[in-house]
Amino acid sequence: MEARVGETYWKRVLVFYIPLFMFLVALLFPFYWMVIASVKPDAELYNLQSNPFLVRDITFSHWIYLFTETLFPRWALNTLFIAVLSTGLSLFCGVLAGYSLSRMRYPGSTGIGVGIFVTYLVPPSLLFIPLADVIKTMHLMDSPLALILSYPTILVPFSTWLLMGYFKTIPRELEECARIDGATRFQAFYRIILPLAVPGILSAGIFAFTLSWNEYLFALVFLSSPESKTVPVGVVSELIKGDVFFWGSLMAGALFGSVPIAVIYSFFVEYYVSGLTGGAVKG
């Protein structure tokens, strides 16, 4: 009996704990590297003889340079402003479109659903060329509105496609019972369907916010002045000058830019998984 228990324990260690530990190391190593590089003095950072995984003399000069000698606080506010508004706009359109395509039957609904999915498959690198012409015609170049109106072209198709599948997991009987009791379609949607769809909406919102926060190509093309840049573009453009790389400040900016997304995922990971796997109502 004891031999079998010991065998089961080591099998669990080999099959579960060791792979999990290796996965955590691979997942957390980039954060560890950014922290180490951001607090190393330049003399130690560029010394090939020193241990790259340890710090002997901690310094915060790279962080001070990032926040005092660059417009990083302004870039962070710009990124947050653009990400929040574009996410809100995308969720608003995605919720309404997803509910309409999953619950209502009208001419062309199937074709619209397929068209939305096909639109999501179009690479963003092909869209920014015609979008740049549209943004220029609307005189929105070098304005946050250029990104707030451009990001939904990527986010709305995915949000709609995700929420279509999630709304289909909610039993129609719940909505029909509310309609029988005298509720309008909007009231049934607002009071019954929408609360049950919160996990799906959160998963779509996390995806939209992450893409808006980290997006680089559109922000690089549509924003030019230093004051209007976002974190991904500002850090790269202002901390890389020719062949000179401010590695310490670059790592500090990358760390600060990635932490908010990691925090959001840690708080809403259960909703995120539930939204991607479906199952709004479980018996």
Claim to verify: residue 80 and residue 41 sit in the same structural domain: no
What's the confidence (pLDDT) of residue 3?
Answer: 55
pTM: 0.83
Claim to verify: residue 23 and residue 122 sit in the same structural domain: no
Domain that holds residue 19: 2-45
What's the confidence (pLDDT) of residue 282?
Answer: 46
What's the confidence (pLDDT) of residue 283?
Answer: 41
Claim to verify: residue 80 and residue 187 sit in the same structural domain: yes
The radius of gyration of the chain's CA atoms, rounded to the nearest angstrom, is 24
The total number of structural domains in the chain stands at: 2
Claim to verify: residue 10 and residue 109 sit in the same structural domain: no
Claim to verify: residue 132 and residue 241 sit in the same structural domain: yes
Inside any domain, residue 59: no
Claim to verify: residue 82 and residue 156 sit in the same structural domain: yes
Candidate from 113-122, 165-174, 204-213 with smallest mean pLDDT: 113-122
Claim to verify: residue 105 and residue 14 sit in the same structural domain: no
Claim to verify: residue 40 and residue 75 sit in the same structural domain: no
Inside any domain, residue 225: yes
Claim to verify: residue 86 and residue 146 sit in the same structural domain: yes
**Residue 42 pLDDT exceeds 60:** yes
What's the confidence (pLDDT) of residue 106?
Answer: 74
Mean pLDDT for the stretch of residues 156-169 = 87
Average pLDDT, the chain: 84
Claim to verify: residue 97 and residue 169 sit in the same structural domain: yes
Query: Which CATH number fits the domain that encloses residue 141?
Result: 1.10.3720.10
Claim to verify: residue 155 and residue 266 sit in the same structural domain: yes
Inside any domain, residue 62: no
Inside any domain, residue 282: no
Inside any domain, residue 89: yes
**Count of C-beta atoms within a 10 Å radius of residue 267:** 12
What's the confidence (pLDDT) of residue 12?
Answer: 79
Claim to verify: residue 120 and residue 187 sit in the same structural domain: yes
